[in-house]
Amino acid sequence: MALKLLNPSLRPLGMFDLADADAGTLEGGEYVQLEAAGGTEGYAADVGEPGPYSGAGTVTFSVATRTAGSLGGLADEGTEEYGTLFGSLIGQNAGQATQVNGAVVLGPSTDRASGKVTVWAMAGLYGVSGAAADDSGTPLSGLALNLPVHADANGLLGGAALGGDQVAISVGAMTDTSLVSTTASAVGEPSVAEFIAVFYTGNAQA
C-alpha cells in the first residue's frame, strides 16, 4: 500500500505540512492539494505561525478532490522503500537499510513523525496500490486504459464518477515487477498485479 515511483521526475515538489486530520492516515498515492488550514502548526516546532500571512491560517496540504488551478500532487506515505525515521532492519545484527523490500521498517512514517508529507507534483508515471487505488465507487483496477483518473474527497483515485477535475490518466496494472527473482508467471502461476500505473498530469492543466 504505497506510492511507487516509476518514471516521475528528478525530484518531488518538497515536504510540506500535512493537515492534522490526515496525519498518520496516508496510505500513499492519494491526491493532496494546497490549502490554508485554521489554527497553528501542530507538529514541527521550527515552523510555528505562518509569518506575513498570519490570519490566513497555516498553509498545509490535505487530501482532496482536485480543483484545476490549485497546486497539488500525489502523496508519498513515507514507509515503502525509504522515509521512515530509522530506516529498515536487515536480519538480526546485520544493520539497517532504507531501500530493501520485505525488511522490517523502524520508526514511524514521515507523516506521523513530523506531520509532513512529501508531494510529487511533476507530470510522470507513478504506481498506486492499496486504499488509494481502491475507491469503493470506481476503483482504478476497473478503469480501461487511457481513461481519466479523478480523486474523491479523501484523495482516493478512481474514475470520472468521483467528480472534480482530472488528476491522471489510467495506464493499467503492473504485474510481476521483480527483476531479481522468478516471477509467478514464469512458473505457471497467474500473474500478480502489484500496483496500478497512472500518468499524473501535473499542475499545468487548467
Residue 166 binned pLDDT confidence (cut-offs 50, 70, 90): very high
Q: How many residues does the chain have?
A: 206
Residues 6+ apart with CB under 8 A from 81: 2, 98, 99, 101
Is pTM, for the whole model, over 0.85? no
Between 97 and 174, the higher pLDDT residue: 174
* Residues linked to residue 35 through DSSP beta bridges, in sequence order: 60
| The three cell numbers locating residue 30 | 492519494
Residue 97 binned pLDDT confidence (cut-offs 50, 70, 90): very low
Between 193 and 173, the higher pLDDT residue: 173
d(CA 200, CA 80): 20
174-193 burial, b if ≥16 CB within 10 A, otherwise e? bebeeeeeeeeeeeeeeeee
d(CA 85, CA 187): 38
In one letter, which amino acid is 107? Answer: G
Domain layout of the chain by residue ranges: 6-200
pLDDT at 84: 45
Do the beta carbons of residue 121 and residue 71 sit within 8 Å? yes
Residue 151 binned pLDDT confidence (cut-offs 50, 70, 90): very high
CA 38 to chain centre: 24
Mean pLDDT of 22-41: 77
Do the beta carbons of residue 151 and residue 157 sit within 8 Å? yes
CA 58 to chain centre: 22
On the CB side of 88, how many CA atoms lie within 13 Å of its CA? Answer: 16
Residues 6+ apart with CB under 8 A from 86: 96, 106, 107
